[in-house]
Amino acid sequence: MSHVKELSLVKIDAYDVWKHKVLIDLGFIKKVELGAINEDISEEDYLKSLDPTNWKEQDHYAVLGLRRERHFASEDDVRRSYRKLVLKHHPDKRANNGIVNIDDDYFACITKAYEILGDPLKRRSYDSVDPNFSDDIPAVNLQSKNYFYDVFKPVFERNSRWSVSQPVPELGNENSSREDVENFYNFWYNFESWREYSYLDEEDKERGQDRLERRWIEKQNKVERQRRKKEEMARIRQLTDNAYTCDPRVQRFKENDKKEKLQKKIAREEARKAKLKEEEEAKRKALEEENRIKEAEAERQRALKEQSKKEKEALKKLKRKERKLLEQIFIECNYFAENDSEKLKNLENFDKICNIFSIEEIVSLKNAMNNSTENRKNLFLNEVEKFNNRINKEKEENVLKGSKSNNNASVNENSSKFWNHDDTQLLIKAVNLFPAGKKDRLDCIAEYVTLHTTSGMQ
């Protein structure tokens, strides 16, 4: 009960015959022995060769004369074929010719075939193990990659019959969009098959002698069905994996993704460098601006210092001029003295006044003397008196400040004493020695006291 069947993996229509032959010649599709019926044997000879006791091994479609239509045959096709065979092969029709052996008559095979194919559930169970269906899947090799669509398209079309979800997405072609390709593989990687293997149960549970035996048979059958189902899903997964590996579109998408990823990486790196360059440029400009501001400020300070210096020089020059004019008045009046002693004293007071007085005060005194020639001496003596009062007042203030500062300051091991009488007199002497108006007067006084003290006062 064997015949040769080509592994076309799909139903071959007339316009596909040439392609089918090419695939066979290329080695993509081969001929194998599947144990199905010989195409050359007649239907009647095939029926007469059947063994009713071995009905599971028979081709039910061939029994009903539907060997070519197979799972494409409608329920009406099955019913009409069965009725036709009943009219021709029923034992009662052949009894008159004396050719019927009731014990092993092949008509039981016709009845069994209709019992299977006439019941949707039993027919589905038989279709799941149809001997004309090949479970072969293309391997991953150079030929599968070069002739991808011719190799894999018929395989997917053939296996799509097992899908619970219909219609099944098509494999497509070289121009298929990425979305269509991804949807196709998502469908097959999540493939839900209705294929089941109850037809291959080794034992019928109804033959069990009691309930325990029937449960045991059912359990064994269930285990075997699950094993076959698991192998089937692994086969579908392997088919999808092989196709995904050989699919030139997937490889192209991966290359595009790789290029896009590289371009994005390059763009990010260029953006990072541009940002870094921009930050460095901003820092450089900020530093240049800061240096410019500093230089401008330094230049301004130099200009102010130079201007101040010029103004001071001009003021000193003007003061020297005004002093000479005032001194000319003093010379004309013989320094307002009656004798040499008084002249020396007035000369000293004149020097003090000129050193201490501002230019405004000198000019004011000069103008006053020019305006009142008769009262010049009194004007001079009044200024001397004001000068002495100012000096005495500053002395008192300096003494008080010195005492308060020493009372409030922290005392260290080198300056742990209070001001004594000698130090106070030394301070007064220093104040008299360095009159008000002298540059760095306080520093000179402090240095003098420190240098001449005998008490260690700092």
**Burial status of residue 200 (CB atoms within 10 A of its CB: 0-12, 13-18, 19 or more):** middle
pTM higher than 0.85 for the full model? Answer: no
The lowest-confidence range among 259-263, 296-300, 392-396 is: 392-396
Inside any domain, residue 346: no
Inside any domain, residue 38: yes
Inside any domain, residue 414: no
Q: What is the mean pLDDT of residues 362-382?
A: 83
Q: How many domains does the chain have?
A: 2
Distance CA 243, CA 148 (A): 8
Percent of the chain with pLDDT over 90: 43
pLDDT for 242 equals: 97
Q: Measuring CA to CA, which residue among 409, 322, 405 is closest to residue 367?
A: 322
Of 223, 246, 269, the position where a domain reaches its end is 246
pLDDT tens figures, 228-248: 999 999 999 999 999 999 999
Reported confidence tier of residue 156, pLDDT bands at 50, 70, 90: very high
Inside any domain, residue 209: yes
Of 192, 215, 246, the position where a domain reaches its end is 246
Inside any domain, residue 314: no
**Burial status of residue 441 (CB atoms within 10 A of its CB: 0-12, 13-18, 19 or more):** middle
Of 246, 261, 286, the position where a domain reaches its end is 246
**Burial status of residue 168 (CB atoms within 10 A of its CB: 0-12, 13-18, 19 or more):** middle
Q: What single DSSP character describes residue 457?
A: -
Identify the residue with better confidence: 214 or 26.
Answer: 214
Inside any domain, residue 324: no
Q: Which domain range does residue 226 map to?
A: 4-246
Inside any domain, residue 334: no
pLDDT for 14 equals: 35
Inside any domain, residue 259: no
Reported confidence tier of residue 178, pLDDT bands at 50, 70, 90: very high
In order, the DSSP letters of 50-116 are --GGGGGGS-HHHHTT-TTTGGG--HHHHHHHHHHHHHHH-HHHHHTTT---GGG-THHHHHHHHHH
